[in-house]
Each structure stands twice: as C-alpha cells, then as structure tokens.
C-alpha cells in the first residue's frame, strides 16, 4: 500500500531533480559559449578548444534527452494523480494541488480560501485521508 502523503511529496522531489538537470544543461551551454573555436578560414587542428566543445555538445545532448524523458514521465505521473483527484471532493483536490503541486504554504492556502492557517492544516489532513482511500481502492502499481 502506498502512502498518499509520500506519493504526493514525490512529485516535488522529482521536479527538483529535473530542475537540477536543467540547471546543469544551462551551465554546459554557458561553458560552451565561453569556449572559442577557430574561425571558418583558419586551419583546424585538434586543439583543446575543439575537443572541449565537441565533448560539451555531446554531454548537453545526452543530458537534454535525459531531462526530456524525466519531464515526460513526470507529466504522465501528474496526469494520473490528477485523474485520481477527480474522485475526491473539489475542495480537497484544490488543497492537495496547491500544497503538493504548487508548493504553497498553509498560510498561502488559507488566504486563498479565506480560512486560518490552522484550518488549512486540518483540511489538508482530511484531504490526505480522502485521497488515501482513493489510492487504496486503485492500488497503483510500481510505475506510479
């Protein structure tokens, strides 16, 4: 049996890993732009810069493919979670979406729906219980 809170928290962790990968790709792009290569009419030998540029481009392409695959998998998983949330009350779905997909604090959620921070915490706890019942009914497999 999967724990609803852990399941929902996993989305933020996966988004964080994807963000790190994208930052690494940007760092490689910056590195590539700071490396100079011979101009078209110059004699090209296997200089250090040409080798560094080729290695950097190859690394960028590989990392971009990985990032694309991670983003695609994350979108599929979020879609599945949102489909499951259709089976809970709309108020609970909004609270869980705000908290776990948008990363909002209890204070921010409370301001949005005109309740106190403490009430937002209680509503989130109730929403987790409701979502747990849905997860238990569907018994997601390992690919969730």
Question: What is the model's pLDDT at position 89?
Answer: 96
Does 121 reside within a domain?
Answer: yes
Question: What is the model's pLDDT at position 1?
Answer: 76
Average pLDDT score over residue span 38-44: 55
Does 123 reside within a domain?
Answer: yes
Statement: residue 135 has pLDDT above 60: yes
Q: Which residue from 84, 92, 101 is spatially nearest to 120, judged by alpha carbons?
A: 92
Question: What is the model's pLDDT at position 51?
Answer: 73
**Structurally, how many domains does the chain consist of?**
1
Question: What is the model's pLDDT at position 53?
Answer: 78
Does 144 reside within a domain?
Answer: no
What range does the domain containing 71 cover? 4-35+47-138
Grade residue 10 by pLDDT with cuts at 50, 70 and 90: very high
Question: What is the model's pLDDT at position 77?
Answer: 94
d(CA 14, CA 103): 13
pTM of the full predicted structure? 0.74
Range in 27-31, 45-49, 81-85 the model is least confident about: 45-49
d(CA 62, CA 143): 24
Does 41 reside within a domain?
Answer: no
């Amino acid at each position: 049996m999967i724990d609803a809170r852990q399941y929902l928290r996993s989305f933020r962790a996966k988004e964080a890993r994807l963000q790190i990968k994208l930052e690494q790709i940007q760092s490689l792009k910056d590195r590539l732009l700071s490396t100079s290569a011979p101009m078209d009419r110059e004699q090209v030998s296997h200089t250090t810069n040409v080798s560094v540029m080729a290695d950097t481009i190859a690394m960028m392409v590989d990392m971009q493919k990985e990032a694309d695959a991670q983003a695609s998998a994350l979108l599929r998983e979020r879609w599945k979670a949102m489909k499951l949330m259709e089976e809970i009350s709309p108020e609970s779905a909004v609270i869980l979406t705000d908290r776990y997909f948008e990363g909002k604090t209890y204070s921010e959620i409370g301001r949005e729906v005109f309740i106190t921070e403490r009430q937002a915490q209680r509503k989130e706890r109730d929403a987790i219980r409701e979502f747990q019942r849905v997860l238990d009914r569907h018994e997601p497999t390992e690919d969730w």
